Structure 1
Amino acid sequence: MVGVSTSARMLIQKGATRAEALMREIAGQGPEKTLSRGFAIVRTPSGEPLTRAAHVFDNAEIEIQFQDGRVSATSGKHS
């Protein structure tokens, strides 16, 4: 039983270490890397990121950030 317990603790520790390393890698890439792969960031006029369509009202002023700059836009109706 002791061997199983020790083995389980080691596996959990290895998993936690790998998870931490992946999170550091993701955080280190930053939004610029994501934008360079063709994604965009949608923001409120005050600059807060919008992460859900449900947070955007019809005809709301928004800002879309691309790799090469930002554009202002007005949202349409939700579908």
Structure 2
Amino acid sequence: MIVGLIHHVEYIVILYWLRKLNYQGWYSMDQYPYREDGKKALAEIIETVKALEKVIDKFGDEKISQLVQRVTRLKSPQR
């Protein structure tokens, strides 16, 4: 399974925070391409990350920040 194909919103949130924190290091994602060609799988991951970064650019910080807050509320235990 290629990274980001199922959990789009969660990856957008992660990439948003990495950008907001001005992270300049490496990204590491669990990928075990049992059925896929490893090089092709890596190329797809890179393209997926670039596409998700374009989503962040398209919507802008304010809307992504609202999304982050909404996702955080949904994932937090309710009291």
Taking structure 2 as the reference length, the TM-score comes to 0.33
Higher relative contact order (CA 8 A, sep 6+): 2
Q: Which has the larger radius of gyration?
A: 1
